[in-house]
Amino acid sequence: MSNNSTEGFRADWADKDFYAVLGVKKTSDAAEIKKAYRQLARENHPDSNPGDESKSERFKAVAEAYDVVGDPEKRKKYDEMRSLYASGGAAGGFGAGHAGGFDLNDLFGERRGGGGGGGFGDVFGDMFGGSRRANRPRKGQDVESTATISFTDAIDGVTISLRLTSDASCGTCKGSGGKPGTKPHVCSVCEGAGTVINSVGGGFSMNERCPACGGRQLLYDEPCPTCGGSGRGMSSRTIQARIPAGVKDGQKIRVKGKGGSGENGGAAGDLIVTVKVAKHRIFGRTGDNLTIDVPISFDEAALGAEVRIPTLSGPAVTLKVPPGTPTGRTFRVRGKGVTRRDGTKGDLLATVVVQVPATLDPAAREALEAYRVATQGRPLRTKLFEEE
């Protein structure tokens, strides 16, 4: 733990009077402190006061105070720290290197620039980590969905409706876990802390969410009949999601805040939509460009022609095919492709394919036979027989 972290604890915790928060005296015994906490926790718990932000904040402060002074060892360290802060810290503050003949940096477990552990810094991490983790806001789960859209909608962008089923607070008990109309009581397993200490061996222990109350700190004698006391359920809803222009097949779109609902005031998760793009009858796509195969006749390729071709979402355009154009040649029509993020567009790539008729009427056959006679002797395949 760095020295900056130690200073953060001093500034944050040393000025807090946890006894005053619980309404007890510094000399009060453990039984008096526990009684005061139980009463305040019952009065201010969010499950008993839905929507009351002031009660919720009060409950957090009470839980935080009891997590410290409700534990004999933590209470002792807290009292020592408060005493030091009131005496040695008033003039020079904990920032002074020495006070009262000893090094305060040793007390907090580190000298500046050192790497030691332990001391008040580590104690405070254990003291204040447990209940804060149990009751901190938790973001809801991300929800994944798949949507199939048309080729044209993928290019132009579209707003779609999605029916989603996701984890949410139970609609019957509003997330409390108790049967409606029943009163909660402080969990006897964690004594309202929301966490329990679990030994992991080797002299180490960890704060874990209480298995009895699930970290909610209160229990109901009669659990909610809908969720069985978990406080969670499934929610079905229909949402609108905007698919941006130019989306690709298989691309994932993240929609903020449309996933599962959070816990303890946490933000909702996100919706992740995997987009499937249906194939188009005549158009294809390469990056930001659209592609199209344009059939042309032999005479159009040989003599040249102006060929009218469609675009995806606009009027047709005229493609000028010069004389002698071979099959497979690609022409570029600028600005008729996919819309990019900056608003510009890719191009339309038109590839001409010379068509060979399967059957010929008498007039066409006669004309082609005359063409064959006229072009006899042209060595089209001479190079195939040249030696290297």
Task: Give pLDDT, residue 44.
Answer: 84
For residue 319, pLDDT beyond 80: yes
Residue 2 has pLDDT above 50, yes or no: no
Most confident of 171-175, 179-183, 224-228, 267-271: 267-271
Is the pLDDT confidence value at 165 over 60?
yes
pLDDT at 211 over 90: no
The answer on pLDDT for 227 being more than 70 is yes
> What's the pLDDT at 326?
95
pLDDT at 130: 44
**Would you place residue 286 in the very low, low, confident or very high pLDDT band (cuts 50, 70, 90)?**
very high
Please say if the pLDDT value at position 294 is more than 90.
yes
pLDDT of residue 62: 86
CB 138 within 8 A of CB 216: no
Please give the pLDDT value at position 264.
65
Instruction: Choose from 67-71, 175-179, 207-211 the range with maximum mean pLDDT.
Output: 67-71
Q: Which carries the bigger pLDDT value, residue 230 or residue 255?
A: 255
- The one-letter amino acid code at 245 reads A
pLDDT, greater one: 170 or 372: 372
User: What is the predicted pLDDT for the residue at 99?
Assistant: 39
Mean pLDDT of the chain: 78
pLDDT > 90: percent of the chain: 30
Sequence ranges of the domains in the chain: 3-135, 139-169+234-279, 283-383
Q: With a cut of 50, say whether residue 100 has pLDDT above it.
A: no
139-169+234-279 against 283-383: fold identical = yes
Class of domain 283-383: mainly beta
Sheet architecture: strand order including 271-277: 143-149, 271-277, 252-255
Rounded Cα gap, residues 184 and 375, in angstroms:
100
Mean pLDDT of 80-87: 72
pLDDT mean over 6-11: 36
Q: In the CATH scheme, what is the code of domain 139-169+234-279?
A: 2.60.260.20
Reported as a pLDDT band with limits 50, 70 and 90, residue 96 is: very low
With a cut of 80, say whether residue 93 has pLDDT above it.
no
What pLDDT score does 387 carry? 76
**How far, in Å, CA of 67 to CA of 193, rounded?**
6
Q: Which of 39-48, 91-100, 245-254 has the highest mean pLDDT?
A: 245-254
pLDDT of residue 115: 42
pTM: 0.50
Based on its alpha-carbon atoms, the radius of gyration of the chain, rounded to whole angstroms, reads 38
Please give the backbone phi and psi of residue 153, each rounded to the nearest 5 degrees, phi first.
-65, -35
pLDDT tens for residues 19-58? 898 999 988 998 899 889 988 888 888 777 777 888 888 8
Q: Would you say residue 142 has pLDDT above 60? A: yes
Q: What is the per-residue pLDDT for 235?
A: 67
Residue 213, pLDDT score: 77
Return the CATH number of the domain spanning residue range 3-135. Answer: 1.10.287.110
User: Would you place residue 77 in the very low, low, confident or very high pLDDT band (cuts 50, 70, 90)?
Assistant: confident
Query: How far is it, in rounded angstroms, from Cα 28 to Cα 36?
Result: 10
Between 285 and 187, where is the model more confident? Answer: 285
Higher confidence at residue 210 or residue 159? Answer: 159
pLDDT score of 141 more than 90? no
* Identity of the highest mean pLDDT range in 3-7, 192-196, 373-377: 373-377
- 82 vs 351: which has the higher pLDDT: 351
